Every structure is written in structure tokens, then in C-alpha cells.
Amino acid sequence: MKTFLYIYIVLFSFVSFGQKKDSIPLSEKYILIKVGDTLMIDLDEVKLLPKTKFKVREDVNYYYWFRKKVFKAYPFAILAAKRLDTLNSRLTRIKSKRKKKKYIKVVQRYLEGEFTNQLKSMTRTEGRVLLKLIHRQTGKTTFSQIKELKSGWNAFWYNTTANLFKLSLKKEYNPLFNNEDFLIEDVLQRAFIQERLVEKQSRLPINIDRMYALNKGYVNLEVYKKMFSKMRKKRSK
């Protein structure tokens, strides 16, 4: 019987799970050596995230509740970003101001038909997450989009989003220093790794390592616990 010799060369990055996300540079070659033969296999990079830490056991329920909100809003943000890219690209090719206004009105009617009913089915939390994700995916707040495009886009967002959810269209996405934004980004990063959501590159620079280092793996869900507490008190009256 022939003797087989297997040599596995793998580079490991040691990760402090309580501090930050890191990656194992597995883009190196995986080498399988058989007597008289060598097989080279490319390996993809593997991302590692710190283990989520909860202050109390019940926080897990609030985290998964919030995760559902992100999962619902994310596809709409991706679609909105795609439509905006198409709109902006076509507008740059239209020289006439009159034709630009006419085109924006056409797009407005299309967007209202595509988004309005779905947006109205969202809760206030989902609407807020959506506005943050639109900033993430386009690099501009909804308010900035309105300021640039005016007319039809203005009416669409104010009528179906701001008035509906009573939210500020100027809110920016900052997962490093805003707790809710950190939760959104944490949900997204884990969903990308688990292939539960298809990753679309953020237009904003997001330092994932620093984000996790600042939060040290802990998630803060106090605002949602208070929100549900108020809701329960109202129902009990």
C-alpha cells in the first residue's frame, strides 16, 4: 500500500472575539501533496465576528425582533439605491431642464407605484431603519436626495415616508457612534456571512473593526425595552 503524505498550509489570524471583527487570509493556496503529485486549490477569505454579548437573557428576544426589522428594510434600500443610480445616470445625459423635470415626474409616478404600498406596510422602526440604509447604500441622506432632485422625488418621500413615520429625513448612518446604526450594521454583517442577505457594498466608509472594538461585543437594546414597556402600560389602561 502506498503511503500518502498530506501537508496543509493554512494561515490563521488570532482574533479577540470581545473586541473586533477580523478575517483569516485564506486567499492563500491550500496545498495537497501526494507522492509525485501536487494539487493547488484557491480558498476564499473567511470573515469572523465577535460573539454577541447580551447584558441579560431577555435581550436576545429584542435583538431578534430588531433583526426582523432590518431584514425587511434592507431589500427596499437596495432597490431604492438601484433606482436612484439609474435616475441620476439618465439625468446627467439630459441637457434640457424642461426634459429633466418631465423625466423626474415620470420616475415619480413609477416609484410611487412601486414603493408606496410597501412603505405603508412598514412600522415606524422599519421606516427609520430604511432611511438609514438608504444613506448607507447611496452615500446620501434622503434629505440630500430631495434637495438635489426636488419636484417629484420631494413629494414622494415627504408624502409616503416622512409624514407617514414622522421621521427626520436628515438622519445620517453612523454605526461607529450611533447605537441603532451599530445594531443595523451588526445584523447586516452576520446576515452576509450566513448568506441570509446578499451583500451590496456600502457607499459610506465603515470601519467594521473599529465599530466592534468600540462596542466590545455588547449590544444595547434599552431603547426598545423601554418602548415595549410603554406600549404594555398603554394596553393595560
> DSSP assignment of the chain, as one string?
-PPP------------TTT--EEE-TTSEEEEEETTEEEEEE---EEE-PPPB-SSTTHHHHHHHHHHHHHHHHHHHHHHHHHHHHHHHHHHH---HHHHHHHHHHHHHHHHHHHHHHHHTS-HHHHHHHHHHHHHHHSS-HHHHHHHH-HHHHHHHIIIIIHHHT--TTPPP-TTT-HHHHHHHHHHHHHHHTTSS-----SS---HHHHHHHHTTB---HHHHHHHHHHHHHHH-
Q: Same structural domain for residues 89 and 144?
A: yes
Q: Is residue 139's pLDDT more than 50?
A: yes
**Cα distance between residue 150 and residue 101, in whole Å:** 9
* Segment 123-146 mean pLDDT: 83
Q: Which DSSP category does 34 fall into?
A: E
Residues 177-210: tens digit of each pLDDT: 999 999 999 999 999 999 999 999 999 999 999 9
Q: Same structural domain for residues 22 and 58?
A: no
* Segment 214-229 mean pLDDT: 90
* Count of structural domains within the chain: 2
**Cα distance between residue 32 and residue 14, in whole Å:** 24
Q: Is residue 226's pLDDT more than 80?
A: yes
pLDDT band, very low/low/confident/very high, at 223 (cuts 50, 70, 90): very high
Q: Same structural domain for residues 58 and 22?
A: no
Q: Same structural domain for residues 155 and 221?
A: yes
Are the C-beta atoms of 160 and 115 separated by less than 8 Å?
Answer: yes
pTM of the model: 0.73
Point out the domain boundary residue: 31, 48, 65: 48
pLDDT band, very low/low/confident/very high, at 13 (cuts 50, 70, 90): very low
Are the C-beta atoms of 49 and 209 separated by less than 8 Å?
Answer: no
Q: Same structural domain for residues 132 and 232?
A: yes
Point out the domain boundary residue: 16, 31, 48: 48
Q: Is residue 70's pLDDT more than 80?
A: yes
Higher pLDDT among residues 178 and 80, named by residue: 178
Q: Same structural domain for residues 134 and 225?
A: yes
Q: What percent of the chain has pLDDT over 90?
A: 32
User: Lowest-pLDDT range, 12-26, 57-71, 84-98, 159-173?
Assistant: 12-26
Q: Same structural domain for residues 14 and 62?
A: no
Q: Same structural domain for residues 186 and 210?
A: yes
Q: Same structural domain for residues 96 and 6?
A: no
Q: Same structural domain for residues 71 and 43?
A: no
Quote the domain boundaries for residue 233: 53-237
pLDDT band, very low/low/confident/very high, at 158 (cuts 50, 70, 90): low
Q: Who's near 153: CB < 8 A, 6+ residues apart?
A: 104, 107, 108, 111, 145, 146
Q: Same structural domain for residues 41 and 111?
A: no
Residues 36-65: tens digit of each pLDDT: 555 555 555 567 888 889 989 999 999 999
**Cα distance between residue 121 and residue 229, in whole Å:** 23
Q: Same structural domain for residues 150 and 198?
A: yes
DSSP symbols for 130-172 = HHHHHHHHHSS-HHHHHHHH-HHHHHHHIIIIIHHHT--TTPP
